[in-house]
Amino acid sequence: MRFRTALLTLSLTAFAQTQAVTPVQTTYATTTVLTDPAALMPDSSHVLTGPETSAPPFDELIPSWNAVTPPGSSVTVEVRTKNAAGKWSRWFSFGTWMSAGAKGDPAGRSSVDGQQDASGRLNTDTLALTAPATIYQSRVTLRGAARLTLLAFTTSRRTERTAQLGSASDRAAWGKVLKVPQRSQMLYPGGGEVWCSPTSTSMILGYYGVNVTVPQAAAATYDRAYDGTGNWPFNTAYAGSLGLRAYVSRLPSLSAAEPYILAGVPLAVSLGWKAGELPGAPVPSSSGHLMVLVGFDSAGNPVLNDPAAPTDAGVKRSYPRAAFERLWLTHSGGTVYVIAPAGKALP
């Protein structure tokens, strides 16, 4: 059965109004997760236009999605924003997604380079605005038998990234470490040294009993335009394609990450550092690196599975809390991959 675009637009509006996850709001970032697959109807080559959605003033936006894309199908996600003066930006395309092996789009799985206007610029997976916006709208194109099962949006303010740095902890998660498989990205010649993101994703998948190798995860998250595997929404989309619920979010502090550990949910985290800034790191510096937060030691220092370690046995390590938190918040704004079984209660 085929549906007109207008009818599909109404379906997406209903989808937004019956979201299964309450928006997580802080003074810094807001993440809204829409999860109601029954409200989106699988069809061939149609556009789903979402409602105009209000948010606290933001100048960065990251969408993420989970989709079923059988061979010959794909998903494209676009977003536009409206500033305080009521002016809309262009539609920014966050690329075309398809599962590994699918051949629906000649361009393959890829983000889109060179998108910029007076309102802002799209940096692969993050929309950076020149001035704060208060409204966003999404547009999702489904090709073939593609079916969308989750759509998420994280909005934040660059100036508030460190506003909650050093927030007090209730210490309930201190001393708790999750048993996440340890995997080194450095064991794989021909690209492994830059596979931190898919290696982190594969560790979290393994924790939930979904065992994929690091090379398999790298192949399944490769972004042709970016020419790499570090596209954040592509990594969560991959986890989502394997039956989990996965999306990109941002947290304001390590204390805000602690409830996830208490809930048994490890988080992939993104940070960068210069020489001497992260004591104990297996590499002296990084312009951008993903690792997995698996818990906290008894003193409250974060325990990480760092895939940059030279061996699997050396992956688990602890970093000084204050140094780690500052590097994570200043580099990526507290970006995390939230990956968990569908239906699991999240903080």
pLDDT in tens, 247-260: 999 999 999 999 99
Amino acid, res. 188: Y
**Element of type H or E holding 117:** strand 116-117
DSSP-assigned letter for residue 314:
G
Is 70 exceeded by the pLDDT of residue 106?
no
Rounded to whole angstroms, the Cα distance separating 172 from 28 reads: 23
pLDDT band at 27 (very low <50, low <70, confident <90, very high): low
The residues, any chain, with a CB within 8 Å of residue 1's CB and separated by 6 or more, are: 43
Mean pLDDT of 211-239: 96
Is 60 exceeded by the pLDDT of residue 24?
no
Structure confidence by residue, pLDDT tens digits, 189-222: 989 999 999 999 999 999 999 999 999 999 999 9
Structure confidence by residue, pLDDT tens digits, 111-142: 999 999 999 999 999 999 999 999 999 999 99
Rounded to whole angstroms, the Cα distance separating 209 from 243 reads: 11
Is 60 exceeded by the pLDDT of residue 16?
no
Mean pLDDT of 89-108: 79
Is 60 exceeded by the pLDDT of residue 21?
no
> How many of the other CB atoms lie within 10 Å of CB of 41?
16
pTM of the predicted protein model: 0.91
Q: Would you say 104 and 52 are in contact if contact means Cβ atoms under 8 Å apart?
A: no
Question: What separation in angstroms does the CA of 314 have from each of 91, 193, 228?
Answer: 44, 15, 25
Mean pLDDT of 276-302: 98
Structure confidence by residue, pLDDT tens digits, 45-82: 488 889 999 999 999 999 999 999 999 899 999 999 99
Is 90 exceeded by the pLDDT of residue 332?
yes
Q: Minimal CA–CA distance to 324: which of 263, 267, 248, 269? A: 269
Is 80 exceeded by the pLDDT of residue 13?
no
